[in-house]
Chains A and B, each alone.
Chain A
């Protein structure tokens, strides 16, 4: 059976969709992602263009209008649901992992001794 497209999102995919909860254009998305992640995640123009084309094709985002030769996009309902599903999945993963990391400092001390 073929794997369902965009069932799970990669890190760049997640942040691009997150940036498009509000309308934004290509370069704006790159800056927004950098701000959101404190510069941890950087998006290349090629990566972003490929993602935007793919999301638009999958109807996760929609093209709204053009301003100063820049295309403005926004998340669609389907895109929001996909993003929310990923958010829930990540929260669940964090919650399931939390009991295993009660005290990081104690683990470090044990390792030293």
Chain B
């Protein structure tokens, strides 16, 4: 027989009065709460046949020092702490004992719970939404085109969705508690206890949003690490983190930030996985492999394209990156350089909608503007583009050209002096890409 029985345990702070009811129910089946599993909505129960115990739950937001004082006082009053989940502290009495309940002043209890709920569970999502709203434009314009950043942006959107859901859910819960408890106080009745099914139901959105959040992290990791195997490895690390939290918690201190060991081990595991897989390091330096990949894709500009004389320069670094995102169906980045500091970088985006292309075009111009470089509108017709912007720096022998046509954006950044002869080359490459994607 299993020593511990796992049970779903996911309560909102305002359901603190429902938890003892649930624990009493479990106790009637011979199950007593042993511990909560950190980061997961699961509680471990153990089979016990002791005399009846009472359960109690309190809402407190305490520092480690305050927690010690609080727990000492509770222990003296006959309440032994079992575990905590966020601001919820769960206690039990000694077998056969019935100590005075933790709260004997309903008005103060209501005031305290509402104050803490407002401060931490309402203002936190609200402040995050506000910060996101203030940075919204910046996030979209500067990150949209870059795959990893784009996924980070998508993750931010998911996170915002989560924040909005949390805010709406918390606000409705708070208003319900406020009115119900206010009415109970007026009528001299005990503070309301949320029925168990409703408390479970209220826990589901938060569990779902947590799942969405985990999936979003998984999505980012998949794109970043390229393989599902790596994603599974990372999720395993997350699981290890949760298990690590559980095992390294000491009985004296079960507050969540307990030990650096799970973090350190997870970090080393993650780093080890990345290095062993070679997904990042090898791809960057394998010049031949990168160049051979790029040869198959039309529209990639090589150093030799801008130096038709073929003066014997050898490519020493090539970085090729192709991927897709929810906003950009294909994004290609190819960088080639030689040991004579001759380099050219081509970035090409095939977006899903013209407005995304527009944003990327503006963001690319903005990137140069930030470097105090002047973007000059140039004639787009010779390139076969709708819009064209050039950045020419004669003092350092370099130029950059940004082209846009429909859903396609192309950026060429080169360490060459701009020449008339480049126009047909760039135009040809741009048209190749546009025709191929169309």
Contacts and interface: CB of A to CB of B under 8 A. Distances in A.
Contacts of A70: 72
A73 B73 CA distance: 14
Given A12-B104, A12-B105, A27-B77, A46 B69 contact: no
Interface stretch (A48-56, A78-86, A93-101, A105-113): A48-56
Contacts of B183: none
Interface stretch (B107-115, B173-181, B324-332, B359-367): B107-115
27 contacts: A10-B105, A10-B108, A11-B105, A12-B105, A12-B108, A26-B72, A26-B73, A30-B76, A43-B100, A44-B77, A44-B101, A44-B102, A44-B104, A44-B105, A45-B70, A45-B74, A45-B100, A46-B58, A46-B60, A46-B74, A46-B102, A46-B109, A47-B105, A49-B60, A49-B74, A50-B108, A70-B72
A71 B105 contact: no
B151 interface: no
B103 interface: yes
B108 A49 contact: no
Interface in B268-289: none
Contacts of B68: 69
Interface residues of B, number: 22
A42 B100 CA distance: 7
B81 to A, nearest CB: 11
Nearest first, the 5 closest Cβ-Cβ pairs linking A and B are: A46-B102, A27-B76, A45-B77, A44-B104, A26-B73
Given A12-B105, A69-B68, 4 more contacts: A44-B103, A45-B70, A47-B104, A69-B72
Contact of B102 (A11, A45, A53): A45
Nearest to A41: B104
A45 B78 CA distance: 9
B345 to A, nearest CB: 59
A59 to B, nearest CB: 18
Nearest to A70: B72
A26 B77 CA distance: 9
Nearest to A34: B100
A10 B112 CA distance: 15
Contacts of A10: 105, 107-108
A30 B108 contact: no
Contact of B108 (A26, A41, A42, A47): A47
A46 B103 contact: yes
B55 interface: no
A48 B72 contact: no
Contacts of B245: none
Contacts of B66: 53
B79 interface: yes
B73 A48 contact: yes
